Amino acid sequence: MYKLIIRPFLFLLPAETAHHVTFFLLKAVCKIPFVKNLFRATYQINHPKLRQELFGLIFSNPVGLAAGLDKNGIAIDELSCLGFGFIEIGTVTPVPQEGNPSPRLFRLPKNKALINRMGFNNDGMVEIGKRIKKRNSRIILGGNIGKNKLTPNENAVDDYKKCFHELYDEVDYFVVNVSSPNTPGLRALQEKEPLMKILNELQQVNANMRKRKPLLLKIAPDLTNEQLDDIAEIVKETKLDGLIISNTTIDRSNLNYSTSELETIGAGGLSGKPVFEKSNAVLSYIRQKITVPIIASGGIMSAEDALRKIELGASLVQIYTGFIYEGPKLVTKINKKLIEIR
């Protein structure tokens, strides 16, 4: 139904409008009695072969929803009925911000891809914290945190610490996002010295809490091998719990669109099928350098794509663009394929 009816309708709308319409319809239909149970019966697979323990958390299955789709945590209960093993909200910043001017989200259907320059648009840590506290679902929830656009990089660590404190009671793990291309100067924080400062100070805060929360880092697929070597060293020195590989790319090579078409769209992070091999190369390289768990994201459009990530060393996978193009059945297909081979 999704690919035959729902997606064609949504793709008639501007991409960001379609996003808001989807969330409105999902929340509306889930208010109808028995609909959530119907979704669970259709998409959710409970099988011992899918369960695994990582970071001290029990994941019912290894397929998660990546950050960016439900930035503000408005549909956790509804999305949890679609078969996911975990959901990541955000990116969350201390102060609410509108993000970049619209249009800022674009489809590239010939490549099964998206380009976004949303710019960390979100309701801010206080409002989001209050909202997710009211959720009914106990699905594992990750908090992807970042800095506000107007915060200078030298003060970025303060923003990350504020978000950590505010969301500590409501999320199961944290992800430090320094790899989005849509906040000016943010990717400079991936360099060794500023990144060490952020992660070390967060770990100090973490150690003083009543219980440590798993702390992960999300990296870009555009890093050089030398930069990846630095990341591997940072992971070890700061005792990070894991990595997410990867965020969107600024690369525009091998797309089925003309230079003028891409220039009309403009800047932003590219996600979807074209990122698959690029993120796989980063995953394969860094897996040889570190032993901590890796969550793989980037270009997963099929069950076979997810299996490839796991073969390269990922413990969990996340989908975003694949969910938009393939629908919730993608989650089910991945889990069924994993049961077959395990």
Residues 6+ apart with CB under 8 A from 5: none
Q: Would you put residue 90 in left (φ > 0), alpha (ψ -120 to 50) or beta?
A: left
What are the residues facing 173 on neighbouring strands? 142
SS3 97: strand
- The answer to whether the bond into 103 is cis (omega within 30° of 0) is yes
271 is catalytic: no
Q: Which of 179, 180, 271, 279 is catalytic?
A: 180
R_g over Cα of the chain: 19
- Give the Å distances, CA to CA, from 164 to 63, 121, 175, 203: 24, 18, 10, 10
- Give the Å distances, CA to CA, from 269 to 250, 314, 339: 5, 22, 33
What is the dihedral sign for C-alpha 55, 323, 163, 186? positive
The catalytic site residues sit at 180
